[in-house]
Chains A and B, each alone.
Chain A
Amino acid sequence: MYVKAWIGAILFALCSIAQAGPQIEQWQTHNGARVYLVAAPELPMVDVRVVFDAGSARDGGKSGLAALTNGLLDDGAKTADGELNADQIAERFADLGAQFGTTADRDMASVSLRSLTKPDLLQPSLQAVAAILTQPGFPQNGFEREQSRVLTHLQAQEQSPGEIAGKAFFKAVYGEHPYATQALGNPDSIKQLTRDDLIAFHNRYYVARNAVVAIVGAVTRKEAEAIAETLVDKLPEGEAAPALPKVAGLENAQNVQIPYSSAQTHILVGQPGISRIDPDYFPLVVGNHILGGNGLVARLAEEIREKRGLSYSTYSYFQPMREPGPYTLGLQTRNEQTSEALKVLRDTLKDYVEHGPTAAELKAAKQNITGGFALRIDSNANLLDYLALIGFYQLPLDYLDSYNRKVEQVTLEQIRDAFKRRVKPEQMVTVIVGGGAQANQN
């Protein structure tokens, strides 16, 4: 299946809106985990996600540790009735029709469960998740297997110019900051990890005060309280993770060129952007929507794809994180057109930072963002994403309710001002991966 445009999904997911948002309830478990609930009674199912501040920003110099710990959680666990191995855990969820998954990025490490609400199906799944969270076995053979699979995954990244560019971009933008490395790690660091590292990491970060539980589904407040207690009851109270180091701004432009034998050259341009609670959040996000956030209707797509046919996918986006995540602009084009495409990208950015959007553009952007609010919270899956986000970053409970109002309040002047102060085309990182077969001979 080939889609016309690749651009949107993640970008949109990060910048959403509300008129009359869902009713969010919030409380704490006895040991200090924060719980967030949206009751969605229509379908007999429930989604649960437990999020820990245990992403790769917590690797502590052992790159890949957070992700490997997270990925190995379901490889074996102690339960009340004895040990379960990886096969038994997988079979338990499948037999109950439940879907279980783990994922880790730079900020978060999560465990998710989707189940029917019938108690004889839900309860055994919850027990298994509780065991996975609190008493994972981290068996040595599973550790070695996953270590080796990560090495294969890292190799696979090396045959993708887009992945290579992404890694180089974070490295250049973040320097010594923990965000500089990718969650998956690198071959050298992965080879040095031990099972004891995982156990120590789990003991430190998989604790109640470092956890957020998000629940969406056909459950009452009382049932949700029981679910949350079941999941985290046996977690030690522990401590929340400490503040991350501050991100240093870029003082100079920096160019990284990586010759690569691909037909296309991948270009990424950017700098540190905004945190989840940045005071300029709304002017920058709405402003970026016009520059490169709104699919094929945005300026970058108009200049690079629609007018010139230079690239299939071109975009810009803020990735708000605990500390300022990156602001990224990107495209891919056949090698011979690299300088032309890069010039159009840079000129479009410079012009936008200098002059800002037009009144008509701002109006259309607001219509798109606010008019599409209902779409972005139209499923339990979407709601769960927002709930986890609100809980993890401790955004106000009226975050969804007030989103549209805050978007409406953004003015042309605020966008111009915020872009001029915060976006520095002369001090950005530019990563260029490609050049084709001849690039290798340089």
Chain B
Amino acid sequence: MPRFFLIILLCAAWTAAASPAEVREFKLDNGLKLIVKEDHRAPVVVSQVWYKVGSSYEHSGITGLSHVLEHMMFKGTRKHGPNEASRIISANGGQENAFTGRDYTAYYQQLEKSRLPVSFELESDRMRNLLLKQDEFVKEVQVVMEERRLRTDDDPESLTYEHFAATAFHNGPYQNPVIGWMGDLENMTLADLKQWYKTWYAPNNATVVVVGDVQPDEVFALAKKYFGPLKPSKLMPLKPRREVEQKGLRRAVVKAPAELPYLLMGYQTPSLTASQGADGEPYALEVLSGILSGGNSARLAKHLVREERIAASAGAGYNLYSRAPDLFMLEGTPAQGRSVAELEQALRDQIKRLQDEPVSEAELARIKAQVVASKVYEQDSTFGQAMQIGTLVTVGLDWRLQDSYLDRINAVTAEQIQQAARKYLIDDHLTVAVLEPLPLDPNKKPRGPLDGHLGGGNVR
């Protein structure tokens, strides 16, 4: 899947936000933030540790560093050997993983509620005591290169997204892929990782989010016990790296072996953190993305897929909670017999329509009905609830924003949507990337007996 889809998924999760359950925030003396939300439906707990570091903190030459470090966080401390923490979590009936995004790196465990101390013990240990060893690094960076081949190099749409982002951003923090350019992975060193770990892994750069069948004060006591003794670091302020103003439409063509063409379009837009007070605009853009692609009733499915049959699939996405100014995205695959140029024109026509005429009251009401309902549905997932809190805090926003989300969406008017479309969805701030398929293998028919070197089978 291209990263773009992940962004859309995130937005979909966000049409969620907020719930009546109580949330408590604590701060340790060393600067660590703890946020606890009670959910007593099942005797389980999810614990997530969020660090303010991700690919948007990296620069040319060290891309992919945050993500490789995330992998190395499982390779042991003085107390626990490589992979041992994973075995301990497993033996406690837990599930665990970690993820790196543009604006964050996060680690989590899901456990039966009484096992929360196991999570805190292991996370506090690796927050400050990671052993970064050469032999483990050499293997793990190979694993990450395999991950890159799997997700990007052998996926033409994903590859197109990578080139698209590198075209849409000239100097901004979202220019580089989270997984890193292959050349940077090949030249990464253990010293790079050690420096990165030292710079960002500290209690005063971390937020612990706990959601589940727990008592907030007890969780606070546990956090003090395990994370309290950790020393804070002196954090260097991030340089803003403001993206230069775009001075005209940009295009990229990606030629790669593929069966289908693919189109990506992105307009430079503000996000909530970067909107400098005009924060009605991000909410208008959020509703606008719902008007275009909030499900099967939205305009792209209705007009482009069903009515005109120009697109086999089409979507729009906007990430309200990006740390830096980001893109309003459109993407699609042409229907059989239709061209990528026709699809681009159809998408631009949809944008023009948003600029020319206000959206109908029925469409606005529909978006709002979906938001109201999804605020209930989201409470079915403790993990999703923790994700929302962690994301907000880590991009520098107040987690209470999720409580006002519904009101903010309800306040958006048809006129604001039209204004936002006119102001931001303009050609001079647009980047278009097209995947031009090169022929795949012409003779990829199943063959009979294997070559000798693959060996091992009894071929009849």
Contacts and interface: CB of A to CB of B under 8 A. Distances in A.
A375 B450 contact: no
Contacts of A86: 306
A249 interface: no
B376 A87 contact: no
Contact of A4 (B70, B178, B443, B457): B70
Given A158-B440, A309-B138, A371-B112, 7 more contacts: A3-B98, A12-B95, A40-B41, A87-B297, A94-B296, A152-B260, A375-B110
A342 B443 contact: no
Contact of B100 (A2, A168, A252, A369): A2
Contacts of A162: 150
Contact of A297 (B10, B86, B456): B86
Interface stretch (B30-38, B280-288, B378-386, B414-422): B378-386
A263 B153 contact: yes
Contacts of B151: 2
Interface of B (DSSP majority class): mixed
Given A98-B373, A313-B150, A257 B454 contact: yes
The 10 closest A-B pairs by CB, nearest first: A371-B93, A97-B373, A309-B139, A309-B142, A90-B297, A378-B42, A372-B93, A152-B312, A90-B296, A440-B441
Nearest to B102: A1
A42 B41 contact: yes
Contact of B44 (A370, A374, A430): A374
Interface in A277-311: 294-297, 302, 305-311
A155 interface: yes
Given A151-B336, A332-B150, A375-B111, A305 B93 contact: no
Interface string B295-332: 11110011001100100110000000000000000000
Interface stretch (A62-70, A204-212, A239-247, A333-341): A333-341
Contacts of A255: 449-450, 454, 457, 459
B270 interface: no
B99 A4 contact: yes
Interface stretch (B201-209, B243-251, B344-352, B364-372): B364-372
> How extensive is the interface on chain B, given as a class?
35 or more
Nearest to A147: B336
A145 B309 contact: yes
A220 to B, nearest CB: 18
A259 B112 contact: no
B336 A2 contact: no
Contacts of A306: 82-83, 139
Interface string B432-460: 00000100111111110111011111111
Nearest to B297: A90
A1 B333 contact: no
A421 interface: no
B231 interface: no
A8 B95 contact: yes
Nearest to A341: B146
A125 to B, nearest CB: 11
